[in-house]
Amino acid sequence: MSASASWLDALPLDFYNQLARSLSLHGMAALELLSRPTTPATNRLHELTGLTAATVHRLNGIESHEQLLVVLRQEPLAVYHLLLLGRLTLETSLAVPVLAYVRQSMGIDAGQLSTLLAYCLELSGAFLGQLEEHVTAPAGAVSLGLHRLGVEEAFAGLVAELPVPALPPAASLRLTEPQLHMLRLALLLVHSLPATEADHPFLRAVAALPNLGAEALEPLIAHLGQVQAQEPLALTMPELVQLYQGMQVCGMVFVSDVMSRLGLEDAFPTLPDDERAAAGPAPASTRQAVGEMVTGFTYWVQQTFPDNPEIAQARAQVLQLADTL
């Protein structure tokens, strides 16, 4: 399907120079997409676009304005689909290896890469719009714009099949034996609160926090159970938020009279005898020791992540808990 000759003749003579870098980046992203294992979603994308790795390699071999015009006259849909699939890929985690390669090969930093990506996406977005005005849609499609919606829907199906990427660690700690025990006990206490039969606004407020639900806490409890003192403990931001809130709930229970008032002494979990012995002699004041550890940990979190919105939200929720005591 050919494009209007008059429209192509109106393109500026330096148009290829403007588009070259964007075309190359989108081509690399499209190749990354096409290299994925065959699934119903990839089959659907191929049915809609007909784009193959061989076609992408050929289009990425364009080296001049004249060659670009020839391709746009003879197979404009191939260029359209390369830019469309490349653009969709660049906006997802599928583009991570492509962008890492570009950054390394060009010797640029993250900020420069972000600027380059934004520039290339801006160009492709504008050119896709031009193509949709002048290029005939594939057979069976009312318009190229509506065809694009179908491609985007199929691509969304592919993205939905991707595994959820692991969150990067927000912090890495090396804890002493008492600190590690305190974190474990704090989470175990919060985990055990729903098992109490007492009805109190504090307990209801704690139960309403999604980060401190029993099921939400169990992976982190297991994580802490596998760590030894002084070993690196990598924590994601969601885990850090759980510890931040869990420690403060534990502190509220200990430094107030809520434990005795609600009959929580028996509900408070204890470590096995060998682990408890490893923590050393009991402090003169358990409440004082707990208060100091809670204060130290929460202060460290707030000072380390002063502008983090998740920590700010967690802090606000904890302040509301205090009002229920």
Residue 140 included in any domain: yes
Residue 289 has pLDDT above 80, yes or no: no
pLDDT tens readout for residues 191-220: 888 777 667 788 888 888 888 988 899 999
pLDDT tens readout for residues 109-145: 888 888 999 999 999 999 999 999 999 999 888 999 9
Q: Select from 117, 148, 151, 123 the least CA-distant residue to 133.
A: 148
Residue 39 included in any domain: yes
Tell me: do 189 and 91 sit in the same domain.
no
Residue 235 included in any domain: yes
As given in the structure block, the two tokens for residue 176 are 């002493």
Banded model confidence at residue 258, pLDDT cuts 50, 70, 90: low
Tell me: do 19 and 153 sit in the same domain.
yes
Residue 180 included in any domain: yes
Tell me: do 201 and 99 sit in the same domain.
no
The whole-number pLDDT of residue 279 equals 45
- What whole-number percentage of the chain has pLDDT above 70? 88
Tell me: do 153 and 183 sit in the same domain.
no
Tell me: do 256 and 294 sit in the same domain.
yes
The whole-number pLDDT of residue 286 equals 64
Tell me: do 96 and 180 sit in the same domain.
no
Tell me: do 9 and 81 sit in the same domain.
yes
What length does the chain have? 325
What is the number of structural domains in the chain?
2
Banded model confidence at residue 257, pLDDT cuts 50, 70, 90: low
Tell me: do 116 and 257 sit in the same domain.
no
- What whole-number percentage of the chain has pLDDT above 90? 46
Q: Which of 161, 187, 221 is the last residue of a domain?
A: 161
User: Which residue stretches of the chain are H helix?
Assistant: 5-9, 15-34, 40-49, 53-59, 65-74, 76-90, 96-106, 110-134, 144-161, 177-192, 201-207, 214-225, 237-255, 258-261, 273-278, 286-304, 309-322
Residue 251 included in any domain: yes
Q: Which of 161, 196, 222 is the last residue of a domain?
A: 161
Q: Which residue has the tokens 């992976």?
A: 219
Tell me: do 96 and 77 sit in the same domain.
yes
Residue 166 included in any domain: no
Residue 175 included in any domain: yes
As a whole number of angstroms, the distance between CA 236 and CA 286 comes to: 29
Please say whether the beta carbons of 57 and 113 come within 8 A. Answer: no
The whole-number pLDDT of residue 253 equals 82
As given in the structure block, the two tokens for residue 119 are 């520039």
Tell me: do 91 and 206 sit in the same domain.
no
Least confident of 49-53, 137-141, 271-275: 271-275
| Domain range enclosing 72 | 5-161
pLDDT tens readout for residues 138-180: 988 899 999 999 999 999 999 988 877 677 888 888 888 888 8
Residue 61 included in any domain: yes
Provide the mean pLDDT of the chain.
Answer: 85
Please say whether the beta carbons of 272 and 281 come within 8 A. Answer: no
Please say whether the beta carbons of 194 and 302 come within 8 A. Answer: no
Residue 280 has pLDDT above 60, yes or no: no
Q: For 12-39, what is the mean pLDDT?
A: 93
Tell me: do 118 and 244 sit in the same domain.
no
Calculate the alpha carbon distances from 213 to 23, 153, 196, 267 in Å.
49, 35, 14, 16
Q: Which of 161, 190, 212 is the last residue of a domain?
A: 161
Q: How many degrees, rounded to 5, is the angle at CA 56 between CA 108 and CA 74?
A: 125
Please say whether the beta carbons of 258 and 252 come within 8 A. Answer: yes
Q: Select from 92, 71, 88 the least CA-distant residue to 148.
A: 88
As a whole number of angstroms, the distance between CA 253 and CA 218 comes to: 20
Banded model confidence at residue 262, pLDDT cuts 50, 70, 90: low
Tell me: do 289 and 225 sit in the same domain.
yes
pLDDT tens readout for residues 57-114: 999 999 999 999 999 999 999 999 999 999 999 998 889 899 999 998 999 888 888 8
